[in-house]
Amino acid sequence: MTSPAAARPPAPPTTPGASAPAAPSAAPAAQPRPTSLGHGLLVMGDLWNLLLVRSLLTGGPARFLDLKAALGISDPVLSRRLRDLAADGVIAGEEYTASPPRLEYRLTGTGADLWPVYVALHVWDRRWAPASPLRLHAALRHAKCGRRTDPVFGCGACGAIGLSARDTAAEVDTSIPFASANPRRRYHRSASAAGAAGDPSASTGTGAGAAAAASAGAAAGTASAAVLADRTSTSLLAAAFLGNHRFGDFQALLHDTAPQTLTARLGLLTEQAILAKTPLREGGRRHGYRLTPKGHDFFPTFAFLIAWSGRRFQDDGRPGVAIVHRACGQPLVPRWTCNACNEPLDGAEFTADA
């Protein structure tokens, strides 16, 4: 397996704001490198990448034509996603026939290590989108105890279970502008790439791209993936978890995103009832955006995504954010626990019921 860091393209240039302290770096004029969270968002804040990894994680289609048929994705978009996921060390292709050369894809250790993120999405979907007609919300079975499980989120550092975002505090690494955790969009809109089964994350300033992604995600039966459909939405949600709620704060943090794109994504997240528009002050006329209970329930997804990014992309830079479990005072070690036997889940030990 290639090292993800070695396979990465150079860090996208960023423009630190006037108030942002210079990033400590050996090279004086060096751009801040993406934080590991930024790298993780770059890889997984994308509907197609989410669906591709899910297919490999759940024993679904693994070959190009099968993936194409299952996801309704165009050739150029699928090729690009597979190439990038391989470059990031998430998947690897193995030739299953030499002429013509055809690849079958599997998850690397880095990709397989995403399983808790998918449990988080699964738990969210079961709670907030239970009526999916596609029956993709089959119960999980804990192989160790043999029983159906509704995994419970907790802190592996102290063993507490049943945690939510409110039980934690996030510490942002202010020595690195958050913008470097919001890497420049990798998938640019392109008329050739965005065909009928086009690229939902090829976003437009009007939010049409994100809306298309939302409907593609809904069609795939994963409401959660529809919410995390593109990097702007995913980064906005991450920023909301870090305690931001004013438009100006979002704008400062995601400074390479056009204001009309931010407005469109905030509108979409509000429509999806993930964020709610609320007055900044009681009786005031100015509004901010706060996480609804439905939005708050994405906390485990972000906690596991941050942990995964830190484990897998740490050598790309600094984590960018640390989450502390208030009650034990230690860095949160996100963990799923089986509610049937009270044992922690590990990736090899659960299967989805048909």
Where do contacts with Zn ion occur on this chain (CB under 5 A)? 142, 145, 155, 157-158, 325, 328, 338, 340-341
Q: Which is nearer to Zn ion, 253 or 303 (CB)?
A: 303
Distance (Å, whole) CA 162 – CA 6? 38
Place of tokens 């208030």: 326
Closest approach, Cβ 230 to Zn ion, in A, equals: 32
Closest approach, Cβ 171 to Zn ion, in A, equals: 15
Closest approach, Cβ 153 to Zn ion, in A, equals: 12
Closest approach, Cβ 6 to Zn ion, in A, equals: 35
Q: Which is nearer to Zn ion, 1 or 158 (CB)?
A: 158
Distance (Å, whole) CA 21 – CA 3? 30
Q: Which is nearer to Zn ion, 148 or 287 (CB)?
A: 148
Closest approach, Cβ 336 to Zn ion, in A, equals: 10
Q: Which is nearer to Zn ion, 87 or 328 (CB)?
A: 328
Distance (Å, whole) CA 345 – CA 11? 35
Closest approach, Cβ 73 to Zn ion, in A, equals: 36
* CA-wise closest residue to 321 among 248, 227, 236, 239: 239
Q: Which is nearer to Zn ion, 165 or 220 (CB)?
A: 165
Q: Which is nearer to Zn ion, 218 or 341 (CB)?
A: 341
Cβ(334)–Cβ(241) under 8 Å? no
Distance (Å, whole) CA 323 – CA 250? 20
Cβ(336)–Cβ(345) under 8 Å? yes
Closest approach, Cβ 225 to Zn ion, in A, equals: 26
Closest approach, Cβ 115 to Zn ion, in A, equals: 15
